[in-house]
Amino acid sequence: MSVLVISAGLQTTIQDRGRFGYRHLGVGSAGVLDPFSSLIANRLVGNADGAAVIEICLGGPTLQFTEAARIALCGAQIEASANDRELPGWRRVDLAEGSVLKLGACRRGARAYLAVAGGFDIAPVLGSRSTDLRGGFGGLDGRALAAGDVLAIKASDHRLQNRFEVDRRWIDPAPDLDFIQPTEVRVLAGRDALRESQQLHAGEWQIDAASNRQGLRLQGPRLALADPGERVSEPVMPGTLQLPPDGQPILLLADAQTHGGYPRIAHAIAADLPRLAQLRPGDCLRLLPCTRADAQRLLDDRRQRLARMAIAIDQVPARSELR
């Protein structure tokens, strides 16, 4: 089975959970920016949690399936249709052979995830199928998808009828994703202290248009360090909040470099990383102080929700409506 890319969208890439164990060699993690949504999409179609998915940024591709397929769309609220029939998100959908899936604009949020039962048959590089756009490797030749690409799909254990079906059950992504503005993200204090630390948490920050998979550039009050002295380059990772000389922070995402010389003033907690992935230029963000104990509790709470979702997906027979 394969999928033909008829049109590619704005920035459509193959991603999985990321590439780990190579940061000491200067190789970043890449991977999905919203691990919560991609994991749910994979579970809905019966894939392993780390199966490769298509990550769609702001505007999606048009794809044609050579055979019947089971898919799920999670993440941003995206315009989606198959053979001119509207598709809902956060649930299983079965497509008939030859179906054309059209994914349009993300109405709320910035990134949607498409999982296909069986998973995309992409050769791993350094243990991951993720596309590293900065390094130019992984995924499909280290680049975003383009019209004319053909993506192979692994064989699935599901026996599908050659028809269009939508599962009536759906997953509620709240509170992990709710798209409420301003988005609230909790952060731990960084190694480098600010001259006026309340400035980081008091107001709102706006997402700059220059943001990308490497990081979110924030616009707001100009911040200054308590100690403005010279610093050596130190390790950074997704979630690190850096402060460049212009005083406007950069919040690093999955394609972040492994080391950086900018001061590290805070770090976004793991439980809130999916919210960062869904921010788009012009959106507003509030950075709230958090303790390590609260960060661990919030992550444990999300893991419990995911476990309950897995039970619901696996044990309750699907109830579908024909279209």
Mean pLDDT in consecutive groups of 10 residues from the start of the chain, 323 residues: 95 96 93 96 95 97 96 97 94 95 96 96 96 95 96 84 89 89 95 89 95 96 88 91 96 94 94 96 96 96 91 65 40
Crossing angle of the two packed helices 292-315 and 35-45, in degrees rounded to 10:
20
- Residue 79 CA to residue 71 CA, distance in Å, equals 15
- Residue 254 CA to residue 305 CA, distance in Å, equals 23
User: pLDDT tens digits for 253-280?
Assistant: 999 999 988 999 999 999 999 999 999 9
Superfamily of chain region 183-290: Cyclophilin-like (2.40.100.10)
Q: Which of 183, 190, 166 is nearest to 289 (CA)?
A: 190
Token duo for residue 48: 């392993």
Q: Are 110 and 58 in contact (CB under 8 A)?
A: yes
Which residue's entry shows tokens 């869904």?
Answer: 278
CA distances 192 to 22, 228, 269, Å, are 26, 9, 17
At 102 the three-state DSSP class reads strand
| φ, ψ for residue 84, nearest 5 deg | 70, 15
Residues of the chain with CATH 2.40.100.10: 183-290
pLDDT score, position 317: 54
- pTM score of the predicted model: 0.94
- By CB atoms closer than 10 A (0-12, 13-18, 19+), residue 106 is buried
Q: What is the DSSP letter of 271?
A: G
pLDDT score, position 314: 79
Q: Are 45 and 92 in contact (CB under 8 A)?
A: yes
How many C-beta atoms lie closer than 10 Å to residue 216's C-beta?
Answer: 26
